[in-house]
Amino acid sequence: MSDSEFYLVATVLKALVILAVIAALSGLATYAERKVLAYMQRRVGPSMVGPAGLLQVGADMIKLFSKEDAIPAGANAAMFKLAPIISVTAAFTALAAVPLLPEFTAFGHTVRPILSDINVGILFLLGASSSCIYGLLIGGLASYNKWSLIGSLRSVLQLISFEVINTLSLIPVVMIVGSLSLIDIVSAQSGGIDKWFIWREPICFALFLIAAFVECNRTPLCLTENETEIVAGCSTAYSGMRWGMFFIAEYANIITYSVVISLIFLGGFNPFWFIPGGVMILLKSSSIFFLFLWARAAWPHLRPDQLMWLCWKVCMPLALACIVITALAII
């Protein structure tokens, strides 16, 4: 097999494997969240379907995909159907520039577990992941529902505010490395735990983590799906498979950001002591994912005005200060 043929086959296989793995992990993530929340609230959680309730995920999927797909009277049917497709497509597209594992050799060829190692990987990631908000916006506006409308307006507020913080928090890291490629950023952290960027840019790590909560619509920094105020927000009018697509997109985003935070600030898949790189990235990503679950159980929702205060009066000055200090340190 020639190099070009191997590259084509490897790219197709990597795309299929990544889609299948992330879709499966998104389903298992719902089980993990229900179990963690149950433990923190002194409940049992899923326990009846399959061993330890593991098959509850499959039962929920069958129930979701077999429910009636209703479209509200007065809704814009075309936009209503398109919105969940935009969200789930953007969530999976963001993974194209994310290296999930260290490279390895197969059939005499080097395989890199990344679809496209482009030199603007961070920009691609930020652009693709933020596009999920447009699915929520379109779905809310097309639903002809007041709760969905409020949720879509909040999604715009959220996008305008924290997308800025999301980008600014990564600029100091890019300035240090001199590249927008995630693989270059991981390589710059090789040589030991003391090389991780979380020690050099701890404020940027905190800011990016806060922005990740907002991007993924997670408590306590979620405006679009605050159940106590606006029912289910943008997805209130959705049911069946279309609602399930929003659900999968949200958890795929959480998994993506868990991996990305591990790559940018926690050394990525660089080996540590006797632990290989593949195991390290799995442990780090799982820890960040658990943080998303723990925050939902431990913290209440912020009001929209409180979230805007956090963005513009706390996060923005800190992000700009980090950029200036890093620039002065490099000079």
Checking if the pLDDT of 26 tops 90, the result is no
Domain total of the chain: 1
pLDDT tens string 30-88: 888 888 888 888 888 777 887 877 888 888 888 877 877 777 777 788 888 888 888 88
Phi-psi map region of 144: left, alpha, beta (phi>0 left; psi -120 to 50 alpha): left
Sole residue written with tokens 């030199």: 119
> Which two three-digit tokens encode residue 201?
């840019």
Range(s) of the domain holding residue 284: 3-330
Average pLDDT over residues 244-256: 84
What is the tens place of the pLDDT at every residue in 147-188?
778 877 787 777 778 888 888 999 999 998 888 888 888 888
> How confident is the model at residue 107, as a pLDDT?
64
Instruction: Give the single-character DSSP code of 313.
Output: I
Residue 2's pLDDT is what? Answer: 64
pTM, to two decimals: 0.85
Residue from 253, 235, 254 nearest 129 by CA: 253
* pLDDT digit string, tens, across residues 102-121: 666 666 666 676 767 777 87
Residue 108: per-residue pLDDT: 66
The whole-angstrom distance between residue 183's C-alpha and the CA centroid of its chain comes to: 18
- What are the start-end ranges of the H helices in the chain? 3-40, 56-66, 77-93, 121-130, 132-142, 146-168, 171-177, 182-187, 197-200, 202-215, 227-230, 240-265, 277-298, 304-309, 316-330
Residue 205 has pLDDT above 90, yes or no: yes
pLDDT average, residue stretch 251-269: 87
How does residue 94 score in pLDDT terms, banded at 50, 70 and 90? Answer: confident
